[in-house]
Amino acid sequence: MVSVFTNGRLRDGRSVDLTVDHGRIVAVDDHGPGRDALGATDLGGRLLLPPMAEPHAHLDKALTSEAVPNPTGDLAGAIDAWIAADERGVFTYDDMVARVDEAVRKLVLNGVTAIRTHVNAGGGAGTWHLDATRDAMSNWSDRVDAEFVGLVHTPIVGPGSDDNVAALRACAEGGALVGGCPHLEPDGAAAIDLALALAGEFGVPIDLHTDETLDPSMLTLPVLARRVIDTGFTGRVAASHCVSLGMQPPDVQAEVARLVAEAGIGIITLPQTNLFLQGREQATATPRGLTAVAALRDAGVVVAAGADNVQDPFNLVGRSDPLETAALLVMAAHVLPDDAYEMVSNAPRTLMGLEPVHFAVGDPAEFVAIDAPSVRAAIADAPADRLVVHAGRVVATTSTTRTIC
Domains in the chain and their CATH numbers? 2-51+357-398 (2.30.40.10), 52-351 (3.20.20.140)
**Please, which residues bridge with residue 386 across strands?**
370, 398
The answer to whether 318 and 309 have CB atoms below 8 angstroms apart is: yes
β-pairing, 386-390 vs 367-370, is: antiparallel
Give the percent of the chain with pLDDT over 70: 99
Going by C-alpha positions, the residue among 53, 129, 133 that lies closest to residue 351 is 53
Cα(392)–Cα(102) distance, integer angstroms: 24
The lowest-confidence range among 79-88, 341-350, 357-366 is: 79-88
Q: What is the mean pLDDT of the chain?
A: 97
**Residues 252-294: tens digit of each pLDDT:** 999 999 999 999 999 999 999 999 999 988 999 999 999 999 9
Evaluate if residue 36 carries a pLDDT over 80: no
- Section 105-133 average pLDDT: 96
Cα(208)–Cα(220) distance, integer angstroms: 11
Evaluate if residue 122 carries a pLDDT over 80: yes
**Residues 239-248: tens digit of each pLDDT:** 999 999 999 9
Evaluate if residue 390 carries a pLDDT over 70: yes
* Banded pLDDT at 147 (limits 50, 70, 90): very high
Evaluate if residue 38 carries a pLDDT over 70: no
C-alpha distances (whole Å) from 120 to each of 23, 57, 256, 277 are 33, 12, 29, 19
Query: What pLDDT score does 33 carry?
Result: 74
Cα(48)–Cα(334) distance, integer angstroms: 24
Evaluate if residue 314 carries a pLDDT over 90: yes
Query: What pLDDT score does 88 carry?
Result: 86
3-state secondary structure of 208: strand
| Side chain identity at residue 386, one-letter code | R
Give the percent of the chain with pLDDT over 90: 92
Going by C-alpha positions, the residue among 173, 82, 165 that lies closest to residue 122 is 165
- Section 35-48 average pLDDT: 87
* Banded pLDDT at 75 (limits 50, 70, 90): confident
Query: What pLDDT score does 35 carry?
Result: 67
Terminal Cα distance for the chain, rounded: 45
